[in-house]
């Protein structure tokens, strides 16, 4: 439904987005990840036709956004960053305006407004002026505006930014529910959000795509992925290290904490995929040495490790 080909955008000498390509089909929820200033918003603004690309093509439902913007925009709902709204209108008036601009009128308009208000839990502020709303309600009004015409494609720039944990949860479940029948793309820098809601994630850094895959695939890229954490009581750390070192499937053993009487060690696998064998081998060694094992846990990998490793943060020394 969305096809982005070799998209680039430069502002003067600065390359904000550099040769970005990806596509998105119905039923997919794509998380757009990246540090601040990575080019997430710029990419979304090009997809929604707000700014023209320097090079490359965006096709939305087969319509080139530059050549055929009106048709393309009709198919999309867009929630811009920080959810800008006309503050001099009521929630209902604002949603009515958005519906009317999109060609929905009369009884359909009333129905569309009711639906959006229901879905975004806005009933209590329906007749309230937008400038008196709290941040959470404002955000949800922006969200309601994006789904007023029940679009096939939803583009959202940081839809959960500034919401409290309950509201975040609500918005995420709303995205998940709508993702079954739509193509959704949203940006965030909250990694748990990607795990909670996305079927696929793209990590973008300095205008380039540095990773593209399902959240599980991305997590598997973590150094810690498939390693085992073993917590043992009453054994010296050196004995633990030597004992676990005899496990042939392990590449490396590190001691995570050593606070008597508990030693926590991490065992890294030699090759990916051998994790089952590694777990069994660790059990065997522990049994052999009569260790008092408190806990043995397999690490799935952490998205934030992957994120930190592949994006160049401006806070990290070069």
Partner 1 sequence: MKSIWTITKRELGGYFNSPVAYVFLVIFLLMTAAFTFLIGQFMDRNQATLQPFFMWHPWIYLFLVPAVGMRLWSEERRQGTMELLLTLPISLWHCIIGKFLASWIFLTLALVMTFPIWITVNYLGDPDNSVIVASYIGSFFLAGAYLSITSMTSAFTRNQVISFILSVVICLFLVLCGWPPVTDVVETLAPRSVVEFVAAFSVMPGIEQFNNGQIDSRAVIYFLSVIGFPLFATNVVIRGLRA
> Residues interacting with partner 1, by CB under 8 A?
45, 48-52, 69-71, 73-74, 76, 78, 80-82, 84-89, 93, 97-98, 100-103, 145
What kind and span of H or E run contains 155?
Answer: strand 153-157
60-97 as b/e: b if 16+ CB within 10 A: bbebebeebbeebbbbbbbbbbebebeeebbbbbbbbe
Q: Which is nearer to partner 1, 19 or 81 (CB)?
A: 81
- For residue 98, the minimal CB distance to partner 1 (Å) is 7
| Contact predicate 43/208, CB 8 Å | no
d(CA 58, CA 64) in angstroms, rounded, equals 6
| Closest separation in Å from C-beta 54 to partner 1 | 9
Q: Which is nearer to partner 1, 141 or 188 (CB)?
A: 141
Least distance CB 150 / partner 1 (angstroms):
14
CB atoms within 10 A of CB 287: 10
Q: Based on CB atoms, which residue is closest to partner 1, 71 or 195?
A: 71
Residue placing its CB nearer to partner 1 in the complex, 89 or 224: 89
Compare residues 76 and 198 and give the one whose CB is closer to partner 1. 76
Asked if residue 161 lies in contact with residue 138, where contact means CB atoms within 8 angstroms, the answer is no
Nearer to partner 1, 138 or 168 (CB): 138
Distance in Å, CB of 48 to partner 1, minimum: 4
Distances 80 to 46, 47, 49, 268 between C-alpha atoms, Å: 12, 12, 12, 43
Each residue of 130-167: b (16+ CB within 10 Å) or e?
A: beebeebbbbbbbbbbbbbbebbbbbbbbbbbebeeeb
- Write down the least CB distance from residue 151 to partner 1, Å: 10
Strand order through the sheet with 228-233: 250-259, 262-269, 228-233, 292-298
The three-state secondary structure class of 19 is strand
Are 292 and 285 in contact by the 8 Å Cβ rule? The answer is no
| Shorter beta-carbon distance to partner 1: residue 129 or 262 | 129
Q: How far apart are CA 285 and CA 279, in angstroms?
A: 10
Looking at residue 318, the DSSP 8-state letter turns out to be -
Are the beta carbons of 208 and 19 closer than 8 angstroms?
yes
Taking alpha carbons only, the member of 215, 224, 166 closest to residue 188 is 215
Q: Smallest gap, in angstroms, from Cβ of residue 78 to partner 1?
A: 5
Smallest separation (angstroms) from partner 1 to the CB of 147: 14
Question: Closest distance between partner 1 and the C-beta of residue 15, in Å?
Answer: 15
| Nearest residue (CB) to partner 1, 48 versus 226 | 48
């Amino acid at each position: 439904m969305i096809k982005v080909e070799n998209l680039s955008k430069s502002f003067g000498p600065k390359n904000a987005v550099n040769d970005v390509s990806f596509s998105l089909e119905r039923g997919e929820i794509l998380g757009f990840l990246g540090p601040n200033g990575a080019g997430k918003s710029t990419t979304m603004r090009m997809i929604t036709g707000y700014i023209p690309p320097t090079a490359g093509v965006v096709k939305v439902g087969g319509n080139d956004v530059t050549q055929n913007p009106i048709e393309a925009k009709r198919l999309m709902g867009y929630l811009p960053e920080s959810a800008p709204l006309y503050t001099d209108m009521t929630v209902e008036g604002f949603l009515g305006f958005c519906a009317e601009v999109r060609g929905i009128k009369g009884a359909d308009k009333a129905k569309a407004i009711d639906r959006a208000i229901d879905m975004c839990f806005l009933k209590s502020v329906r007749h309230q002026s937008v400038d008196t709303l709290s941040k959470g309600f404002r955000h949800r009004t922006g969200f309601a505006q994006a789904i007023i015409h029940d679009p096939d494609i939803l583009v959202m720039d940081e839809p959960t930014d500034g919401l409290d944990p309950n509201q975040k949860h609500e918005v995420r479940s709303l995205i998940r529910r709508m993702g079954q029948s739509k193509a959704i793309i949203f940006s965030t820098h909250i990694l748990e959000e990607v795990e909670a809601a996305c079927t696929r994630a793209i990590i973008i850094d300095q205008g380039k795509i540095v990773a593209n895959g399902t959240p599980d695939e991305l997590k598997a890229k973590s150094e810690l992925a498939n390693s085992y954490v073993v917590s043992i009581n009453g054994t010296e750390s050196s004995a633990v290290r030597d004992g676990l070192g005899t496990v042939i499937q392990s590449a490396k053993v590190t001691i995570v904490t050593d606070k008597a009487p508990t030693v926590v060690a991490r065992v890294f696998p030699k090759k990916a995929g051998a994790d089952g064998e590694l777990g069994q081998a660790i059990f065997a060694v522990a049994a052999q040495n009569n260790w008092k094992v408190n806990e043995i846990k397999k690490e799935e990998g952490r998205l934030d490790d992957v994120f930190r490793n592949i994006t160049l943060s401006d806070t990290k020394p070069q």
